[in-house]
Structure 1
Amino acid sequence: MALNFRLSTLLGVIRMRTYLPTVVTFAAVLVAVVVAEKQNTIIHNQSLRAQVQNEAGLIASRLKGRINADIQLVQGLVAVMSTEPEMDQARFSQLAEQVFGDHKEIRLVAAAPDLVVSLIYPMKGNEAVLGLDYNKNAAQREAAFRVRDSGEMVLAGPVNLIQGGRGFIGRFPLFAGTGPDRRFFGILSAVIDVDALYADTGLTAPETAIELALVGRDGMGAEGGQFYGDSHILEDTPVLVDISFPAGSWQLAARPSEGWSVQPKNLWSLRLTLLVAGALILFPTFLAERLSAARRSAISNLKQSEAELAAQTRRLQIAVQTSQVGIWEYDVESGETVWDQQLRDLYRLPNDFGAIGSTTWQQHLHPDDRKATIEKFDKEIQGGGDLAADFRIVLPDGTIHHIRSAGRRYTDAGGQPKIIGVNWDVSQDVLLRDELLHANKALQHTNGQMHKGQLALEQAHAELQEQQAELHRLSLVAKHASDSIILTDAETRILWVNDAFTKITGFSPEEAIGSTPGDLLNGIKSDSSVFDNISDRLVLGEQISTEILNYTKSGEEIWMNSNLVPVLDDNGKIELIIGIEREITDFKNRQRELAVAKLAAEQADRVKSEFLANMSHEIRTPMNGIIGMASLLAESDLTEDEKLYVDTIQESAGALLKIINDILDLSRLEAERLEIVAADFNLHHCVKSAVNLLRPKADEKGIALTVNYAEGLIKEVRGDDGRLRQILVNLIGNAVKFTEKGGVTIFIGAHSADPYRLLIRIEDSGIGISPEQSQYIFDRFSQADTAITRAFGGTGLGLTISSVLAKRMGGGISMHSELGMGSCFDLCVQMSPATASEIDTDPSNKTSSVMLAESLILMADDNKVNRLLVNKYLIGQPIELVEVVNGREAVNQCKARTPDIVLMDMSMPELDGIAATREIRELNIVQPTIVALTANAFESDRKACMAAGMDQFLSKPISKTDLLDTLATLLAARQKNVSLSTADVAKEPLASGAVE
């Protein structure tokens, strides 16, 4: 009894130890489930808020971008009105339509000179707004006065509109004049349609997964009232996103459409995963026993399969011996070949032949089939497909047999690729096929001879019928042709006319026959010289094609395209005149309309050019002061913060100047006015100057900027180095801009057949471009996508201008890129051999430390900032600077003082720079050197200055280095009494936008 108790206890302890890992594993899984569920809930809440934050941020960005874009458009219209305070409705509508285009969210733009609305766009549907007096309208008086008093834009809304609906109203002050003369003369209001704004930015999109509310009525931000969405959203711990714009800010609140969920969606899938994992751990012993039983069963099945395979192999051997088909196997990698006895017998190999090689079958191939058959087998083996071929072999006794071979690729148990195939003798089949083909060919020959005889008879009969039908068709064609046909005799008397003649002219055949075309169809406006020319050429037997003004029977003018063909007899005399005429009255009318349209287009082009020239001048003038003063400020002792401020001013001014120059270049290219000016230059120095301009940016980003020159590359070439540098700056600048890590490599080479055809490659490891985006990369105002525009900036004109410039220089630009892997741009331009024996050294060595010779310089410029800037540039120089504000004073000073150099602005009151230059050149004085110092940057301006008698052309903004170097060169030339040619000293406007 005691023994039995101990035995059962021992077995229980052993059983408990056996399942102890299972119990421990179960407890561990249970704890893991609890911890995982808690962590999963935390992650779910964080992820949900991040998703809401992301969606709300996208909508807020679109709202901010759309509001700011609309404000910028309206400010452009405000700027124009400030220059045209007396603008009428027609001009206002024209400008508004050009500015706003298809911006449908801009519902109304209204201008209120003296605070009374008198100009609106669009007019239709908004007539109720006309005449609105802000002085008397209590609802809008306060906001209008606030705009007037603050001089800043004020945003109100959303508000209920007089013409119906709701909208945001942006009110902008209008000022006329500048400086002390600046005065307030009204306000410009722009109404942004609430519904259109919400719809365009996705705020009201039904598919959005979040609920939204907007706070900040009248642009008051979080302090303003809520004007969109459910008020309960603000009470449900929403995600908040601030939206700022020039006139204030809004706050966007967001929560999920279904509220903040508590239970993660993957809760049960997580539990199921942990349950499965625990089950896999809890039953290892059971699974191991199952695997052991399966193994024993598999061994038994394998033995049974081996027995069945042996039986099938025996049956296959008997079948192959009976069919007289030879079997072969070929190892693709080693070339080892195995033939069965049946195949050996097929090739009549002796029993003592030995091992079969990979070329054994090739040695038996018929000489005419050997090359093609071997190439076919090698090609199919390399291609990885099945084999199939027919060929001939020569047996040892000299007989020729036709063999058909088929093989299939497989992989053996060791993973080696092999081919197993069969060959069988098809000589009897081939012989039978040849006999059938020969018999069929003989039958076809006999049938062909019979068919040819039949065709000859049918053709003779058809030709006879065709000749008869052709005469009938010709008569029908002439009678019913849409063109007028006239037959006359040698004296031009009408013999016959078709129906079209009657339809066009109104004269019946009876009225026409016997008359001459001139008597019948000419009128008071018909050109007699045309008819005299026709008569003279007909006498010579020449064909004539001309346009004639005729008159119909009713007196209506018609234009005819007339083709006259004289038919001569055997003696060369005119027997008949055939006239074929087509009415072209509509065509002539369209020609006149096109001529009028062409004149209108040319006028529009002139207006555009004048506008661009004026904008260039007006922008470059203040830019001259900004860039010049910033460069002077940079030379002074500054703190680190002050240096940062100055660097920022210079970078921003340089970027603005590049945009201006890009737009001007694009305008020149469109009008085909941009010239390629060839000059000798050093290729290495040109590339170096472009790279040095961008190296600080590359160093700032921590990326490598490497230049490699091909061996034997010619250094001195002739071409437009300024335009080549502009292209390089654009391409390398883009590469640096879009590369965050890695580097940019520039390779300079030349075509192997032409050392002056430059091949330049710019490779980067940047963000790359997708194939869809690359098709538009050279289009104007285009970048890869809007996200890139927001992230990196730019106008999208650089590649457009570079591509056109490269084509103008005899080459082009191509690119290939992979998204995320970088881009490669290939530039090709054509240069020519340099003509000068020695080319100037690197221009980058210029400094602003030039010391000028003692001299008198006269500066004529009506802009005091420009005069101040030049004065500052010349501080420390032994120069006496005399300043005048117009061309008349400049002429008087030249009479009184005789300056060495005159710095002449083009646009000045009383007498402009060009007229003043002409008068100075007519004075009986020691002629000064005259330098055009102007903001007009077009080539036509430079030519106009040179034609007036100026010696040099400098375009604003002008750097201190350029001014001092120019003055030093001119003063040295005056001392040596050397006349400098315009081509040696003329400077083009900065094409790349870089400012020293």
Structure 2
Amino acid sequence: MLKRALSNYFPFVVAVVAVATLAIALQRQTDVVNASALRTSVQAEVDVVSARLQSQVESSVLITRGIASLLSRGRDISQAEFSQLVSNVTRGRSDVINVAWAPDLVITRVHPVEPNRAAIGLDYRNIPAQLAAIEKVRDTGQIAFVGPIDLVQGGKGFILRIPVYSRTEDILQFRGILSTVFDLNAFLDRAGMMGVEQPLNLTLANLDNSGAIAAIAYGDRSVIDDQPIEANFDFTGSHWRLYATPEEGWDSATEERIYQILRLLIVCLFVLGPLYLLNRMALARKEMITDMQTANRRLDSFTNNFPGVFFTYMQRSDTPDRVTFATDGTRDIWGVSKEQLYEDPSPMWRGASMETREELRKVMESARRTGTTWRLIWEHTGPNGDERWLEGWGHPYLSTEGVLRWDCFVMDITDQKKRDIEFEFQANVVRQAQKQESIGQLTGGMAHDFNNMLAVIRGNLEMLEDDLADELSPDDERMDFIRGSILAAEQGNDLTRKMLSFARRAPLNPEVIQLNTVVQELEGWSGRTFPANITLTTHLAEGLPPVLLDRSSTSSALLNLMVNARDAMPNGGTLTLSTRVVTLATDQNRHLSQNLGAGQYVVLSVSDTGDGIKPDHLAKIFEPFYTTKAPGAGSGLGLSMVQGFVAQSGGAIDIQSTLGEGTVIDLYFPPAELGRTSFASTIKVEEETSSTGLHILLAEDHKDVRLMLERSLTRMGHKVTAAETGDMAMQLFEKNPGFDLLVTDIVMPGLLQGTDLVREIRKRVADFPVIVLTGYTDLPLNDGSILRPEDIRLNKPVARASLERALTLTAHRARPS
């Protein structure tokens, strides 16, 4: 009986077991697929959150960089200006807690001031815990991302530190540290971590260089231990990892219920085959939907973060062209909404020139024929007349219905284009300046060697002339030979001065002059060279006090200003040269380029009726290399040389300009009685006296020059101890500090140059008298604390009489009677 029953029900039992096994297997497979789909969905959300977070960090860096860029211009701003600047830049950014500006590592500006007033005056050098990181930012120029940190206001935050530099000529100078403090929760909320579409458990961790977790910035550590989805990203030199799990846990993907299995088994008994097929189809459809949703989210994230416009342009032979899709950036690019483009796409091309439209038509036609991507950069004029540069590219897709679809991108590259143009312009300026500097260095080196040779020739000829003066009659032909050779040496010296003047390395030789005379001299010949449509007039004050200036440099500075005025009046106008005397009070010199004391000054004024100077250019016109002229037409050094000459002469510059009316430049100089006495006049006062029997320390590396000077000084009645290097001269001085005077060359081999030797000797004897000899003519008369204004400098070749007068003057200054 039992065997029969088993035999009768065996196929049924086998069928039941088979169906149950199939149902269980099907359920488990469904659980695996659901779990996989859940991980895929979480991964998609993590990708979106990661992209938003990185975009948020980049925008925060841009905000801080924007503030740093304005601070790098070199002008110190007040607290009110700083607060206004930060308030404007961070408007709408609730995650920004405060911004602090620390020039030279000392916080001087903070916004908001309250409750951060206590931070003002804080010196980072007094905070050892932060100093190393601050110095790393300053020395490497890298952005520092510090956090997470506990905020005084409660909660956590982080600090973004950016070094600020300014550029003077070609020198990059550190100005300070700009720090922005962000509230972590508000920052993450702006990044979308608080509002993801599917509830997730998120944890954000900071990694060290080995990839291990250094600190948890947000979330719970338990998420890391629950097989999370991970996303790694780097910003501002630090490494971060985002962990994510479903809020309901991974078990939510497997809804394993006994009743569901039983129902499935019952259904599978009747519809095993169709149910299996339907289940497979459902699983496939679910995966496809998940993939589509993920792709859509990624596409939305890309289009929203793309710095331009993506649009689809449709072309058919029987209908007008039209735009069927565009992102929200159309107003920024073309000044119209995307809805307006859907109705009329012509604004996209209306702002381009006819040549650009034709070029665009050609590249798109070529792309259509070859099936490749078109790319073009063009200049676009917006509805308001604003000029900008656009870059576009797109790819053609031809449908079977004959519709040509273009998927295109357009970006605004105006800033980049301007930087490229400015870079090329500045590169040309630098090349011109380097060329001129190379000429100056070559000329200076040649002049140095040539002057050394002339010094030997002239010195020996003068001694020979003295020796033969008693033996030969004054009209002896051989004396004429000697005098002619000395004259030739003087002419060679004049030649080197002319070479150095061409190379802009000539020294100043101040003398008492009348500015009215200088103006009249220039008016006499320069007026004839100006165009006929420019009228040159003068208004010269009577009884103008004399000034102590270098005549040649004064004429060059005035001519430079006159040429600039002429260039500012291409259509003609009036150029006026005038002089006057003004009296400045203590508070009346704030508008001048230099801080002059109260008193009387002589003013030389150059005015024109040209186009004027834009306010944003006015502050830059005296900067080296700054020029509005084309490369080759001006080096940008003319006005900076004028300013340097005026400042060196103890004066100052005032400039006033009005657009459309003209420009007035006033040069202020102190009267001669308020300035220094010229070297020539000082020598004349003392030339009646003489000084002999001095013990002179001579430092000169050129052997023939050294021997000539030693003989010449000995013939003058002095005792001379000579050294061929500054190092040897210092050793001689240390052994015998009883020398009366030092005569030294500037450029010598060894560790101690001429100025170094002066510094070392004056460390031991503060007022030790010095005469400087040089083959160069561009040595400064006042080099900090080394050379002083009263130190006499003689340019080689030195006339014996000049050397003797210089010795007398220096000796009397050192030992007044």
Structure 1 or 2, whichever has the larger Rg, is 1
* Range of TM-score over shorter length: 0.3 to 0.5
> What TM-score, normalized to structure 2?
0.38
